Structure 1
Amino acid sequence: MKNLLLSGRPRIGKTNLLRRALAKSPVSYGGFSVQRLEKNGWTWAFRLLDLAWEPYQPQTQMPEAHPADVVIELGPDGKWRGKRAVFDGKGRQAVLAAVTEQVQLIVLDELGIFERDAQAFQAAVFAALDCPWPVLGVLKNKSNPFLDRIRTHPDTRILTVTEDNHGAAALEIDRFLQKELFNNETMD
């Protein structure tokens, strides 16, 4: 299977495993990541990063951000809200650019519940899963039609990350990258 998606409970370290694997690998990659924005130690929003030109940094102290980049924000009622326009605009563009520019690896971090109405973004995600290039990403451990369809994609494997399997998960990611990117079944 050419697509590997990490899943597990929130804050278990899925994105950190993915980032560490990419830091060790000399491959070109594109796609997107969602960056946690904090102010005085509190998360106030999430920003969508286009990995073709923005550094892969999962969280940062940032008291404000450009509205066109904020993909999930905390509403005045204390509930999180996804911004479909950002998913369908910048998110879709980042994923399709990775598909059409033929990077070695497409990164999708994180696919979750806030994209449920972002049809253009969803179509781009499935274009990535169906293209010839391998995909490495993070999949929210929730259920909705979008996420469930990803889970049943015939060329996609889900790796569940737990507190007890970080080392094994890191090795599995390394094996995946070796096999998919370098056609090498074993680690050097």
Structure 2
Amino acid sequence: MKHLFLSGSINVGKSTIIQNIVNNMEIDKEEIGGFYTKAYIRNGKVAGFYMEPINYKLKTPDIYERLIGYTPDGKMWLGMDSTFESFGTSILDCCLINDYKLIIMDELGFFENNAICFQEKVHEVLSSNNRIIGCIKTLSTPFMDSIRKRKDVEEIAVTRKNRDSIAHELSEKFVL
């Protein structure tokens, strides 16, 4: 298994499983690059999501320049193509330059539907010698489907039923 992507419903534990797999690996934390997607909380509610880089070697922009999606009214969600095209692409360039042993992409979804440079950079990283572990939304979009169709990608569905056992199973399969 070269690249592993977890899919499943919101809050099923995909990011926690990634953390558990990484913690079970014998890898120096400095040998990991990539990003996590974090919730941006405003007035006690999720108002958006932003990219949190891992071992990013350049200056990290403020949180507003890292927003990948937000909701202006609490109902409709808007993607921030410019964040993916600039900051997201820069994070992935950093991963390629630093030749990390493991790259985390948590998570890929629909916000980047129109971020073509970012999508191309994701495929460039997937085609490199690096190993990737990440999360991918379950929905079907041309970008998500292009990742799923790759022969070097395995997608594992996480459910409430299997989430407690799957981290250990995947730790044994996903070895550097």
- Could you tell me how far 1:47 is from its partner in structure 2? 1.1
2:54 maps to 1:51 = yes
Amino acid at match of 1:32: F
Work out which of the residue numbers 159, 163, 167 in structure 2 matches 1:166.
163
Q: Is the 8 A contact 2:56 2:94 kept in 1?
A: no
Distance 2:143 2:37 in 1: 18
State how 1:84-99 maps to structure 2 within 5 Å. Answer: 84-99=81-96
Distance 1:170 1:76 in 2: 36
Distance 2:166 2:90 in 1: 30
Segments of structure 2 that go 5 or more residues without pairing to the other structure are: none
Distance 1:162 1:102 in 2: 32
Change (3 A) 1:29 1:176: farther
Cα deviations by residue, 1:124-145 (Å, 9 ceiling, x for unpaired): 1101111111100001010010
SS in 1 for 2:6: strand
Where in structure 1 do 4 or more consecutive aligned residues deviate above 6 Å?
none
Query: Of the two structures, which has the highest relative contact order with CA contacts closer than 8 Å and spacing of 6 or more?
Result: 2
State how 1:172-183 maps to structure 2 within 5 Å. Answer: 172-178=169-175, 181=176
- Could you tell me how far 1:151 is from its partner in structure 2? 0.4
2:104 maps to 1:107 = yes
Which residue pairs with 1:37 in the alignment? 40
TM-score when normalising by structure 1: 0.83
Amino acid at match of 2:38: Q
SS in 1 for 2:51: strand
Q: Is the 8 A contact 2:48 2:71 kept in 1?
A: yes
Cα deviations by residue, 1:17-57 (Å, 9 ceiling, x for unpaired): 11222234333210111111223431111111111249xxx
Which residue pairs with 1:133 in the alignment? 130
Q: Is the 8 A contact 1:52 1:94 kept in 2?
A: no
Segments of structure 1 that go 5 or more residues without pairing to the other structure are: 55-64, 182-188
The CA RMSD measured in Å over matched residues stands at 1.7
Change (3 A) 1:176 1:29: farther
Amino acid at match of 1:4: L
State how 1:67-86 maps to structure 2 within 5 Å. Answer: 67-76=64-73, 78-86=75-83
Which residue pairs with 2:9 in the alignment? 9
Change (3 A) 1:77 1:5: closer
2:25 maps to 1:22 = no
TM-score when normalising by structure 2: 0.89
